[in-house]
Amino acid sequence: MEVVVLNLNQVIKDMKTTESDLINKRLEDATIKRQQGVLTKLLDAEKASREQSEDEKRESKTGKTFLHPILNC
């Protein structure tokens, strides 16, 4: 969980840098790449959160005894 928080803190910094670039009308390749990285990290965080919240329920059942029709005369 701590790693996710650290990654999201970096995402916040990147978003603020991108915001500053846009306000100052500096749209460069680095800005676009940074924003693509932000999107990727946010999607990864969403996926990880979704996977953690999924409840994997696997239920075991006791094996059943089946009678063989030919052997049970």
Return the domain boundaries, the chain.
2-15+26-50
Question: What pLDDT digit, counting tens, does each position of 21-71 carry?
Answer: 999 999 999 999 999 999 999 998 888 888 877 766 666 778 777 777 777
Burial 42-69 (b: 16+ CB within 10 A, else e): eeeeeeeeeeeeeeeeeeeeeeeeeeee
Greater pLDDT, 7 or 46? 46
pLDDT tier at 2, thresholds 50, 70, 90:
low
pLDDT tier at 4, thresholds 50, 70, 90:
low
